[in-house]
Amino acid sequence: MMKFCNFELQLVVLTFWFCNRLKTEYIIFYQQLMKTALFIDRDGTLIVEPPVTYQVDTLDQMTFLPGVLRNLYFIRKNCSFELVMVTNQDGLGTDVYPQKNFDTVQGKMLEILKGEEIQFDQIFIDKSFPEDNLPTRKPGTAMLTSYMDGSYDMTHSYVIGDRLTDVMLAKNLGCKALLITSSVETAEKELKEAGLADSCAKVVTSWNQIAEFLFAGERVATVQRTTKETDIFVQLNLDGTGKCDISSGLGFFDHMLEQIGKHSGCDLTIHVKGDLNVDEHHTIEDTAIALGEALLSALGNKRGIERYGYCLPMDDCLCSVALDFGGRPWLVWEADFQREYVGDMPTEMFLHFFKSLSDSAKMNLNIKAEGTNEHHKIEGIFKALARSIKMAVKRDIYKYELPSTKGTL
């Protein structure tokens, strides 16, 4: 058996590390050279698909989905995707769907797009019926083999469509889909049932969301914070839909944290294992720290955000939370509580939670609340915080600037 002296062993480890590093750098460099594409469905995605016939065969039926022209132009100008149209046109060229009718609509659509400086690099049309089971028909990839020869970076390419077959096409191509729909909840349920959830990057309801996703990405952060007192996992998506998965071991605290996710529109997962055998203090304080870190991390470069948020929700109470993601912590707290506990949460920890949150997210928080029902009062504060976050993180890719005159936040 070979024996290494300490120096030789270090040399082997160093060489191994260097080769691995070189390999990673090469993969990144190679990916940058590779092309990326958007495989875009036509009916139901670019233009409205008529019910019953599902055929757009006259000009008066042709209507673009809202925001298609503006956002496709933005994508064309600001992203490096090739635009590839992939469409199934059942029975095209037969008596039930004359070629002439299709050509009239398709020609007009392409003419309008061209007028907006949007041109497709390739257009693929399958004319078969579903029962033909041809490999060229979506979700088959037989028309798209040239994109699967290794010259395209499929991990950064997307299928954009309105049906599960479009998501299946993405799966078959080795990329992900952006599924456009009117109901995110229904679509996500259907994706899950079909086992396609992992092949869909995002379910969207508008072309504004598609352009924002492709240009600026989703603002997500994961924080794992482990000490001898608490073990905390936080996952935050500022561009989510308000989905929550919260468990802190404190029922009332869970209820409050759910207000943040639900009313801010952010997807929020918080799992906490705290030393509740001591008391509630570390669990609440450390959760605020981890959540603040997640907020700061997810905000990233803060370009295009509103930055400020302000809200005044009311039950029997009047609560306001104004915030500024300006990069500095500060807390103004004007809320008195007479009870020692609300649920299983000590009222003295309310101030401590928001102070810790403000410190770790580096944001100003100005919180005021008045009223008599203490459950309503603290719940109003959490809801107002959520709405303020929703206002402040709102991002505009058409005004993608840092909202600061000093040039940093």
Which tokens go with 36? 């990326």
Amino acid in the structure at residue 335: A
From 38-46, 125-133, 135-143, 213-221, span contacting Mg ion (CB under 5 A):
38-46
Q: Residue 129 and residue 111: Cα distance in Å, rounded?
A: 28
**Which single residue brings its beta carbon nearest to Mg ion?**
44
Q: How far is the CB of 92 from Mg ion (least distance, A)?
A: 15
Q: In Å, what is the CA distance from 39 to each residue of 7, 122, 128?
A: 53, 9, 19
Binding of Mg ion at residue 43 (CB under 5 A)? yes
Closest CB to Mg ion among residues 167, 257: 167
User: 43, 57, 162, 286: which one is catalytic?
Assistant: 43
Binding of Mg ion at residue 44 (CB under 5 A)? yes
Q: Residue 247 and residue 269: Cα distance in Å, rounded?
A: 8
Binding of Mg ion at residue 126 (CB under 5 A)? no
Closest CB to Mg ion among residues 110, 331: 110
The answer to whether 198 is a known catalytic residue is no
Q: How far is the CB of 319 from Mg ion (least distance, A)?
A: 45
Determine the size of the site formed for Mg ion (CB under 5 A): 4
Q: How far is the CB of 202 from Mg ion (least distance, A)?
A: 17
Which tokens go with 53? 């016939």
Backbone angles phi, psi at 149, to 5 degrees: -95, 10
Q: How far is the CB of 161 from Mg ion (least distance, A)?
A: 6
From 44-52, 261-269, 374-382, 390-398, span contacting Mg ion (CB under 5 A):
44-52
Q: How far is the CB of 116 from Mg ion (least distance, A)?
A: 21
Helix (H) or strand (E) holding 214: helix 207-216
Binding of Mg ion at residue 313 (CB under 5 A)? no
57, 162, 212, 285: which one contacts Mg ion (CB under 5 A)? 162
Closest CB to Mg ion among residues 41, 239: 41
Dihedral sign computed on CA atoms, order 91, 95, 96, 98: positive
User: 41, 57, 126, 254: which one is catalytic?
Assistant: 41
Contacts of 293 (CB under 8 A, 6+ apart): 221, 223, 225, 234, 360, 361
8 Å CB contact between 248 and 234? no
The answer to whether 43 is a known catalytic residue is yes
Among 113, 121, 102, 101, CA closest to 65: 113
Q: How far is the CB of 45 from Mg ion (least distance, A)?
A: 5
Backbone angles phi, psi at 239, to 5 degrees: -105, 30
Find the binding residues for Mg ion in span 86-125 (CB under 5 A): none
Closest CB to Mg ion among residues 199, 364: 199
39, 41, 225, 350: which one contacts Mg ion (CB under 5 A)? 41
Q: How far is the CB of 42 from Mg ion (least distance, A)?
A: 7
Binding of Mg ion at residue 304 (CB under 5 A)? no
Closest CB to Mg ion among residues 47, 357: 47
354-381: b or e for each residue (b if 16 or more CB lie within 10 Å)? bbbbbbbbbbbbbbbbeeeebebbbbbb
Closest CB to Mg ion among residues 163, 302: 163
Angle separating helix axes 374-393 and 348-361, nearest 10 degrees: 10
8 Å CB contact between 329 and 358? yes
Angle separating helix axes 348-361 and 281-299, nearest 10 degrees: 30
Closest CB to Mg ion among residues 75, 180: 180
Q: Residue 303 and residue 409: Cα distance in Å, rounded?
A: 9
Burial class (CB in 10 A: 0-12, 13-18, 19+), 286: buried
From 40-48, 63-71, 171-179, 400-408, span contacting Mg ion (CB under 5 A):
40-48
Closest CB to Mg ion among residues 41, 212: 41
From 1-9, 105-113, 154-162, 187-195, span contacting Mg ion (CB under 5 A):
154-162
Q: How far is the CB of 163 from Mg ion (least distance, A)?
A: 5
Amino acid in the structure at residue 27: I
From 34-42, 125-133, 202-210, 324-332, span contacting Mg ion (CB under 5 A):
34-42
197-206: b or e for each residue (b if 16 or more CB lie within 10 Å)? eebbbbbbee
List the catalytic residues.
41, 43
List residues binding Mg ion (CB under 5 A).
41, 43-44, 162
